[in-house]
Chain A
Amino acid sequence: MTTATETNNPWAGNMAGGNMPGMEMFAQPMQDFLRKMWAIPGIVETAKKVRVGTTPSRAVYREDRIRLLRYQSDVEQVYETPLVVVFALVNRPYILDLRPNKSVVRQFLNRGFDVYNVDWGVPADCDSHLGLEDYVGRYMDNMIDHIRERSGCDRINVLGYCMGGSMSAMYTALNPDKVKNLMLLAAPVDWSTNDSLLGVWCNEKYFDVDKVIDTYGNMPADWLQQSFLLLKPVQNLIEKYFNFYDKMDDQKFIEDFTAMETWLNDNIPVAGETFRQFVKDCFQRNLLIQGKLEIGNERVDLGRITCPILNLTAQHDHLVPCGQSIPFNDAVGSTDRKIINFPAGHIGMAVGSRAHRELWPQACDWLGERSDALK
């Protein structure tokens, strides 16, 4: 818990030994306060230097605003079957590669996987017509075909996180012959429960998604960000800053805090039609798990999924409670299916120290056992 500035900090010593009678009880808090204030320039410098998404990558495929990133690694490739990571449309995908020591991408790279990540880009006003048909039926399909061509594999591994997990499930149901193994991370598929506050807010009685999209075109990033903040107002607006004050002289904490804040404040708008479809068909009508969802002119039948499934759910998830993810394993036609219900929150699954120590090695083992080795 030392910073570079602390070595010159005149408040780092002990004030309690001063000669002011009766001041002992205030001395320690005051000393702490002054030490923290002294550390502020160091915090600002640290915050400026923090980089996110640091694993080297190269865009190997582009279409409209989307990019497919392929990660580079010094570790020799062990598995032939590549892995593509699909994140949600509401935030940037670098959460899965936030910091070098908290990177899901690096976990897989270090095990010898060839890893790709989908960057959906930022939709502009003229992209408001893009629907799930475009994202799942066209962009995802084209990217996965590109990976299949590059790697020479007929079927590839897919890891979908949050809304990206729902989209991966939809894609796999539509193209079961292109996915070898499917991993879902905190991915909602069944919105029949009211466990999630987001689900309550999306109730059609209170939320007229048509009116919002008809007015704005795309779902504004500010609206999304405020909604996510308000899901946990005490933690996000008060407690977080108390914790920050407590640990503001801890360099490592500041680095992680800044990286996390960078990502949290990096919301992007969602293409209007996609948002409308997702809210109406998933949150309000719950069509996916019932096998009634249609993308383009095709019905999404989860029963068509026969590949091995690893469903990673978060016990303390306030965005996607376990009850929204677990029914997926019963809806698919696969016989090789597994659920790991890990004690973490929605974001903690991707960036938590414990998840990186205990969960991701398990996930890498699971995927390694089911992937083809490099010939």
Chain B
Amino acid sequence: MNNGSTSMGGDAFTSFWGDLMGQMATVGFTPPAMNPDMSNHMRKAFFSVLSNHAEEFMRSEQFLSAMKQSMDNALAMKQQMNQFFQQNLRAFNMPTSSDTEHVARLVRGMEERMMERLDDLDIRLGQLESPGKDSNKTAGDKTSAESRSGKGRR
């Protein structure tokens, strides 16, 4: 028998019950004079105290460690499933999600390189068209270079 945890549970319950009775007293709860309105107040008080204690518990080291543990387990299981499906798909010569991600990364890299080249060309063209002049850019306008770069439309 774990006396420590029993005692902790007992303390938590005593604290919960003390808070509950305290709130009951504030709404004028006296058992013989109970009416429907009173029972609503009692219910609200009960939920309010329960909610406060739940929040306190969810901030505790005990809960946070358990949350981390269960999250780690869920992620490990998901990783195993991913590996399993990848192996099977590869066995059938079928593309996996990591293959498609790899292709997508390649395409994005190519796109970025092309955009950079186009930006360079735009700048050089601008220099050729108006040597020594600053371009007149209003607040609402975007240069074509900006439009294609990270700040612009793609």
A-side residues, CB < 8 A to B, are: 63, 125-126, 128-129, 133, 137-138, 141-142, 145, 148-149, 154-155, 177-178, 197, 200-201, 203, 205-208, 211-212, 215-217, 230, 232-235, 238-239, 242, 296
Q: Please report the number of residue pairs spanning A and B whose Cβ atoms sit closer than 8 angstroms.
A: 76
Q: B3-30 toward A: CB 8 Å interface, digit per residue (1/0)?
A: 0000000000000000000000000000
State the CA gap A129–B71 with chains docked (Å): 23
Q: Do A201 and B43 have beta carbons less than 8 Å apart?
A: no
Q: Nearest A residue to B81 by beta-carbon distance?
A: A215
| Chain B positions 123-154 with a Cβ under 8 Å from a chain A Cβ | 139-140, 142, 150-154
Minimal Cβ-Cβ distance residue in A for B154: A138
Q: Known pairs A133-B150, A141-B152, A178-B139. 19 more at Cβ < 8 A? A: A125-B97, A126-B101, A129-B108, A145-B142, A148-B140, A154-B140, A200-B58, A201-B64, A206-B67, A207-B68, A211-B75, A212-B71, A230-B58, A232-B51, A233-B58, A235-B47, A238-B47, A239-B47, A296-B150
Q: Does B55 touch A at the CB level, under 8 Å?
A: yes
Chain B hits for A155, CB < 8 A? 139
- Minimum Cβ distance to chain A for residue B14 (Å): 19
Are A137 and B151 interface neighbours, CB within 8 A? yes
Chain A, interface SS category: helix
**Contact between B64 and A215, CB atoms less than 8 A apart:** no
Q: Does B121 contact A (CB under 8 A)?
A: no
Residue in contact with A235 in the complex, picked from B51, B78, B82, CB distance below 8 Å: B51
- Whether B90 sits at the interface, judged by CB under 8 Å, is no
A-B contact pairs, 28 of them (CB 8 A): A125-B97, A126-B100, A126-B104, A129-B104, A129-B108, A137-B150, A138-B152, A138-B153, A142-B153, A148-B140, A154-B139, A177-B139, A197-B55, A200-B58, A200-B59, A205-B64, A206-B67, A206-B68, A215-B79, A217-B97, A233-B51, A234-B47, A234-B50, A234-B54, A235-B51, A238-B47, A239-B47, A296-B151
- Chain B residues 74-112 with CB under 8 Å of chain A are 75, 78-79, 82, 97, 100-101, 104-105, 108
Q: How far is the CA of A128 from the CA of B98 in the complex (A)?
A: 12
**Which of B101, B108, B140, B142 has the most chain A CB within a 10 Å cutoff?**
B140
Closest to B77 in A: A215
**B-side contacts of A125, CB under 8 Å:** 97
Nearest Cβ distance between residue A237 and chain B, in whole angstroms?
10
A284 to chain B, nearest CB (A): 15
Chain A's closest residue to B139 (CB) is A154
Our pick among A63, A138, A149 for the contact of B151 (Cβ within 8 Å) is A138
> How many Å from the CB of A198 to the closest CB on chain B?
11
Task: State the CA gap A197–B54 with chains docked (Å).
Answer: 11
Minimum C-beta distance from A195 to chain B (A): 11
Cα(A233)–Cα(B58), bound, Å: 10
Report the minimum CB–CB distance from A275 to chain B (whole Å). Answer: 15
Q: Output the least CB separation between B101 and chain A (Å).
A: 8
User: How many residues on B have C-beta within 8 angstroms of the other chain's C-beta atoms?
Assistant: 32
Considering the chains assembled together, what is the distance between the CA atoms of A155 and B100 in angstroms?
41
Contact B47 A215 (CB under 8 A): no
The CA of A133 and the CA of B112, in the complex, are separated in Å by 14
Q: Contacts of B67 on A, CB cut-off 8 Å?
A: 201, 206
Within the complex, what minimum Cβ distance (angstroms) separates B99 from chain A? 12
The answer to whether B50 and A63 touch across the interface, beta carbons within 8 angstroms, is no
Inter-chain contact B142/A215, CB cutoff 8 Å = no
List the B side residues contacting A211 at CB < 8 Å.
72, 75
Contacts of B58 in A (CB 8 A): 197, 200, 230, 233
Residue of A nearest to B53 (CB): A234
Chain A residues near B105: list those with CB within 8 A.
Answer: 129
Inter-chain contact B64/A200, CB cutoff 8 Å? yes
- Whether B43 and A242, one on each chain, are in contact in the complex, defined by CB atoms closer than 8 angstroms, is yes
Residues in chain B near residue A242, CB distance under 8 A? 43, 47
Task: Tell me the complex Cα distance, A59–B24, Å.
Answer: 53
Please report the C-alpha to C-alpha distance between residue A230 and residue B82 in the assembled complex, in whole angstroms.
Answer: 28
**Nearest-CB distance from A88 to chain B (Å)?**
22
Q: Does B150 contact A138, Cβ atoms closer than 8 Å?
A: yes
CB distance from A300 to the nearest CB of B (A): 14
**Which residues on A sit within 8 Å (CB–CB) of B51?**
232-235, 239
A148 surroundings in chain B (CB, below 8 A): 140
Residue on A nearest B97 in the bound complex, by CB: A125
- On chain A, the residues within 8 Å of B82 by CB distance are 215
Bound-complex Cα distance A185 to B27 (A)? 34
State how many angstroms separate the Cβ of B27 from the closest Cβ of chain A. 16
In the bound assembly, the distance between CA atoms of A206 and B62 in angstroms comes to 11
Chain B residue nearest to A126 in the complex (CB): B104
Pick from B78, B79, B151: contact of A141, CB under 8 Å: B151
A215 touching B75 by the CB < 8 A rule? yes
CB-based contact A63/B153 at 8 Å: yes
In the complex, chain A residues whose CB is within 8 Å of the CB of B104: 126, 129
